[in-house]
Amino acid sequence: MPVLALAACLVVAAWGAWSLWFKQPASRIGAASTAVAMLTRVVEAEWTQDTGPIRVGSALEPGWLRLESGLAQVVFYSGTRLVIEGPAALQLVSPRELTCRSGRLLVEVPPPARGFRLKTDQLDVVDLGTAFGIDANNSRTEVHVFKGEVELLPRTAPKRSLGKGQAAVVTKNALPQITVARAQDFASMFEFHQRSLASEAFRYEQWQFASARLNQDPSLVVHLDFRQLSGVDWTLRNAAEGTQAAPDATVVGGQRAEGRWREKQALEFQSVNDRVRLAVPGEFHALTLSAWVSVKGLDRKFHSLFMCDGFEPGTIHWLIRNDGALGLTVFGAEPGDYQIMASPPVLAIDKFGLWLHLAVVLDGDARELVHYVNGTPVSRHALRLGPPFRIGAAELGNWNAHSGPNPAPVLIRNFSGALDEFELFSRALDDAEVRELHVKGKPPL
């Protein structure tokens, strides 16, 4: 009878927690976007304060882009590809139209995007199947055609065509001056792809160096960097070198995928079976969890990031709710005693597919919990349930509910997305330390 009573209490606790979560906003319906392009690559890009920073992979809505320095590549949904060299000020109008107030651009228009229109203060350029360059300011525009043909529509002169190898200079109200296209003036943009790869490789080397130093932190209990994934050995090495380091983890399902850099691997969670199993012994007065994730969708009530098995006293459940809120639940010593601490919704649909740094700090001594996104605190909570905290058997990207072979649908909490780094510390990192984890690990902006 005592065993049955305890089991009943645990069930009541679990359903109590779930009912509180269910009262949160419903899943998104009819999500829409007015984006016309996306940012695909950068090299040392510095954006103005009113524009950036913009993460690679971000959808771009109609409006102004102002690049102070460096290079950036934008791909319109029509297929037109644009390389921008700062300083530049551009206005995205539609998938088939762009205004250039100032700056130097290299534009490549594939056949499906024929008719793409680019406007400056002096003229319009209509593509007829081309690759061309623009160098513009408020008093002068240069158009250089490297392939195909464009149609020029000056403000004060008849329209005319411009073919491969030709250039035109339009100054205020003067007639266009026809000259020879100068590819050398756009050399940095033609070399953009190679420079972008070199920049990414350098950032990856910087992360590797920072990662090696981090592994020596005595408070680092788990560090899974996903650099040694193979289809033969499904053991994930714990790179933490301290005496508290937990055993290696085990991959149970999942697909290898490209990580934050092309040279680095990640693990993608695609089905209800995919997960990473690990065990962390001991008791803790504080914990910090840190993960680099790419969210693919939030189609269930809960999506597990890192969750201890079951509801044992002192254990934790870290997850994402279907409205984009981050949540951490701490379970107390008595059945039915738990505390849910959830951030506001912070993962909107425009964040899907981007690499994000998520972290949560559980400080038992200060009785505080803090959620972070990309190094910035997004919510702080008073902690009612104090230490000791325990991990024991746990999972990344899924949850072992210990609730029988056929759990209710609400218990299905598998993560939909990819993970390419996870860290667990036995102390509470402060704001500066969490921000440093993000800065040293972030892919190119």
**DSSP-derived secondary structure for 48-108:** -TTT----TT-EE-SEEEEEEEEEEEEEETTS-EEEEEEEEEEEEEETTEEEEEEEEEEEE
Q: Which fold has domain 201-441?
A: Jelly Rolls (2.60.120)
Residues carrying CATH 2.60.120.1440, the chain: 37-189
CB 143 within 8 A of CB 151: no
Percent of the chain past pLDDT 70, that is, above it, reads 89
| Cα→Cα distances 372→53, 290, 308, 355, Å | 18, 9, 20, 14
pLDDT digits (tens, 9 = 90+) for 59-108: 899 999 999 999 999 999 999 999 999 999 999 999 999 999 999 999 99
> Does pTM surpass 0.85?
no
Rounded distance between C-alpha atoms, residue 221 and residue 224, angstroms: 10
The first and second tokens of residue 269, run together, are 């969670």
Residues carrying CATH 2.60.120.200, the chain: 201-441
- Per-residue confidence band for 28, with pLDDT thresholds at 50, 70 and 90: very low
pLDDT digits (tens, 9 = 90+) for 259-269: 888 888 899 99
- Per-residue confidence band for 32, with pLDDT thresholds at 50, 70 and 90: low
pLDDT digits (tens, 9 = 90+) for 205-244: 888 889 999 999 999 999 999 887 665 668 889 999 988 8
**What is the domain class of 37-189 according to CATH?**
mainly beta
Query: What does the pLDDT average to over 119-141?
Result: 92
pLDDT digits (tens, 9 = 90+) for 324-363: 999 999 999 887 889 999 999 999 888 888 899 999 999 9
CB 445 within 8 A of CB 55: yes
